[in-house]
């Protein structure tokens, strides 16, 4: 980060935040701006003077600003002083707090997952602990955001929490000393298959490239690597320069990686690798999915354009917008979309056209008719139109409605809490499995629980009934309807057997997290990961790997997803 004139910070980013130069309004719009600011000022004054009730000018102003920015793209945001720490966390991966994920369960906030060696763990907090009070104030009925903001704070300060733990009759109080919590960009790196390095990269905050380089070098020193797998699944992005520096590990110095193009010439910039590479020859596979966004797409897309890595998974999110953060008065800031980014082949991977809003207020995606073909460095055909389409496309894993109901209603979470209370330890994360005894215990646990869910077939049947009622046909089909409904309910009773493997997998990961934290969860998940197995097989099959990079595999023209979700996640406490 470096200072420039006007104390404006300039860090180009492609994920959640960055810093940059405030764009000046065109001269012809100057009068309109001043006129409307004057009107706004008069509106606030009149409301303050004459409105029947007392108003809060600050809240009204923030509401007005946020409504204005909502008419633009989702990434242009106002950042009040109270949220500055949350945005710092997104860029640095650090914040002051107790170091634990939390979630809302009914009227209470519950500890989800304390980070290993965090203040929460040092104070003895465990997953499943219910927070009754924070600093003497009742937490019941408070939102996730309410409690999270209190748990956060300057390192070295303390926070008092009153905890209710299942299995203990009385609540107990803990005083926790906050620390600077650093969320690792790389929660796990290790060897998979036969001497293949695996690195899980979850963010692109400061030093992500340094951390990945260190992990890669350490893996090389420990084994004669046949290949490297970088897992970007679920990685929503971060700092652009970190993506460029990570690509630099595998490509020559001086190689163009990505360029940014905006309305103002000052936003047009090309980013090149600047460091000596670590390994130019080792086979590389990048794993991606629908949640791989922004900096993840720059890294995957640039290595694809350079024919330096094979991409495996699903089409990525499609966020090709660059934000700068501009300092405002009174410690507020604003994150502004200032440019789009283009990878080496010339592709812009932005999926949604936020510049042209439809009459209904929605935004359109790039139509198939406008998707264009581009060429990689050696001449392979790739396409724009939103996101990076993998060289080898896999189907995303889908869990049944039953499994998601059990997970979403916290029955799996609560069973794992109960399990961890009964058993102080388990075997290593890569060897632990849910046996029949544990699974049958879970079935007993949910016997009196409401885990009702609706299948697609039931929803379709209900839709049919509603249509038939409107058209006065239902009486004629009522007997068939009732018969189908009974059959479906009977079939659902068999779902606990049908989806046994899915439920066991979710139970396994939740229980392992209680003992081995996030690292153990990743290790366990890799044991039965079909996409990881695809990556290992691709590296081991040197002919296939070479054929893909030589363009002998024809990449089909991709389909653009109908709906693209926002990739920005709420910061966690």
Per-residue pLDDT tens over the stretch 388-413: 999 999 999 889 989 999 999 999 99
Considering the candidates 305, 384, 391, 495, report the single residue annotated as catalytic: 305
Q: Which residue has the higher pLDDT, 153 or 367?
A: 153
Considering the candidates 142, 319, 365, 508, report the single residue annotated as catalytic: 319
Task: State the average pLDDT over residues 209-230.
Answer: 97
Cα 482 to Cα 370: distance, rounded to the nearest angstrom: 48
Cα 115 to Cα 221: distance, rounded to the nearest angstrom: 29
**What's the mean per-residue pLDDT of the chain?**
87
pLDDT band at 572 (very low <50, low <70, confident <90, very high): very low
- 85 neighbors 331 (Cβ within 8 angstroms): no
- 409 neighbors 445 (Cβ within 8 angstroms): no
- Whether 294 is catalytic is yes
Instruction: Identify the CA nearest to 376 among candidates 349, 350, 346.
Output: 346
Q: Does 560 have pLDDT greater than 60?
A: no
Q: What is the pLDDT of residue 307?
A: 97
Q: What is the pLDDT of residue 557?
A: 55
The pLDDT tens digits for 6-44 are 333 333 334 443 333 334 445 667 888 888 888 988 998
Instruction: Identify the CA nearest to 89 among candidates 36, 168, 16, 143.
Output: 16
Most confident listed range (317-326, 440-449, 470-479): 440-449
Q: Does 461 have pLDDT greater than 90?
A: no
Residues in CB range of 428: below 8 A, 6 or more apart: none
Q: Which residue has the higher pLDDT, 570 or 459?
A: 459
- Percent of the chain's residues with pLDDT above 70: 89
SS3 state of residue 271: strand
Considering the candidates 294, 302, 345, 389, report the single residue annotated as catalytic: 294
Q: Which residue has the higher pLDDT, 283 or 12?
A: 283
What does DSSP say about strands 392-393 and 310-313: parallel, antiparallel, or unpaired?
parallel
The pLDDT tens digits for 99-121 are 999 999 999 999 999 999 999 99
- Whether 305 is catalytic is yes
pLDDT band at 128 (very low <50, low <70, confident <90, very high): very high
């Amino acid at each position: 980060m470096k200072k420039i004139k006007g104390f404006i910070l300039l860090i180009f980013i492609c994920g959640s935040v960055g810093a940059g130069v405030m764009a000046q309004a065109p001269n012809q719009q100057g009068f309109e701006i001043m006129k409307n600011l004057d009107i706004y000022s008069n509106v606030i004054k009149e409301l303050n003077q004459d409105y029947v009730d007392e108003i809060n000018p600050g809240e009204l102003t923030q509401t007005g600003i946020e409504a204005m920015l909502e008419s633009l793209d989702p990434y242009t945001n106002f950042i009040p002083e109270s949220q500055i720490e949350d945005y710092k966390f997104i860029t640095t991966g650090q914040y002051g707090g107790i170091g634990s994920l939390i979630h809302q369960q009914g009227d209470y906030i519950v500890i989800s997952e304390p980070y290993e060696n965090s203040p929460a763990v040092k104070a003895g907090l465990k997953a499943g602990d219910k927070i009754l009070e924070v600093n003497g104030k009742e937490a019941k009925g408070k939102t996730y955001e309410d409690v999270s903001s209190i748990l956060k704070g300057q390192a070295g300060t303390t926070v008092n929490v009153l905890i209710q733990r299942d299995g203990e009759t009385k609540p107990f109080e803990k005083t926790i000393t906050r620390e600077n919590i650093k969320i690792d960009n790389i929660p796990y790196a290790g060897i998979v298959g036969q001497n293949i390095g695996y690195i899980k990269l979850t963010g692109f905050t400061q030093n992500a490239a340094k951390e990945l380089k260190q992990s890669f070098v350490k893996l090389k020193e420990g084994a004669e690597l046949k290949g490297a797998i970088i897992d970007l699944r679920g990685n929503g992005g971060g700092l652009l320069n970190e993506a460029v520096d990570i690509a630099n590990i595998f490509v020559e110095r001086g190689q163009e990686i990505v360029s940014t193009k905006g309305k103002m010439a000052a936003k047009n910039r090309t980013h090149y690798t600047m460091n000596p590479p670590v390994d130019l020859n080792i086979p590389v596979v990048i794993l991606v999915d629908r949640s791989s966004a922004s900096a993840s797409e720059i890294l995957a897309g640039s290595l694809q354009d350079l024919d330096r890595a094979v991409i495996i998974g699903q089409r990525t999110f499609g966020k090709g917008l660059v934000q700068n953060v501009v300092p405002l008065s009174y410690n507020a800031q604003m994150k502004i979309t200032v440019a789009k980014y283009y990878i080496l082949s010339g592709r812009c991977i932005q999926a949604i056209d936020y510049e042209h809003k439809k009459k209904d207020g929605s935004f359109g995606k790039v139509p198939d008719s406008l998707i264009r073909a581009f060429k990689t460095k050696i001449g392979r055909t790739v396409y724009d139109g939103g996101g990076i389409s993998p060289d080898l496309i896999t189907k995303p894993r889908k869990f049944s409605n039953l499994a998601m109901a059990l997970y979403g209603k916290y029955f799996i979470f609560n069973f794992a809490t109960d399990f961890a209370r009964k058993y102080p330890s388990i075997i290593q994360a890569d060897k632990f499995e849910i046996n029949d005894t544990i699974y049958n215990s879970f079935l007993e646990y949910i016997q009196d629980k409401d885990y009702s869910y609706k299948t697609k077939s039931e929803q379709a049947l209900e839709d049919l009934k509603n249509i038939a009622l409107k058209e006065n046909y239902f009486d004629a089909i009522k007997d068939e309807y009732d018969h189908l409904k009974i059959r479906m309910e009977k079939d659902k009773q068999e779902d606990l057997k049908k989806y046994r493997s899915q439920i066991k997998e979710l139970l396994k990961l939740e229980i392992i997290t209680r003992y081995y934290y996030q690292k153990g969860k990743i290790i366990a998940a890799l044991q039965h990961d079909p996409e990881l197995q695809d990556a290992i097989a691709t590296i081991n099959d040197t002919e296939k790997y070479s054929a893909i990079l030589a363009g002998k595999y024809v990449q089909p023209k991709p389909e653009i997803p109908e709906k693209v979700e926002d990739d920005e996640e709420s910061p966690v406490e």
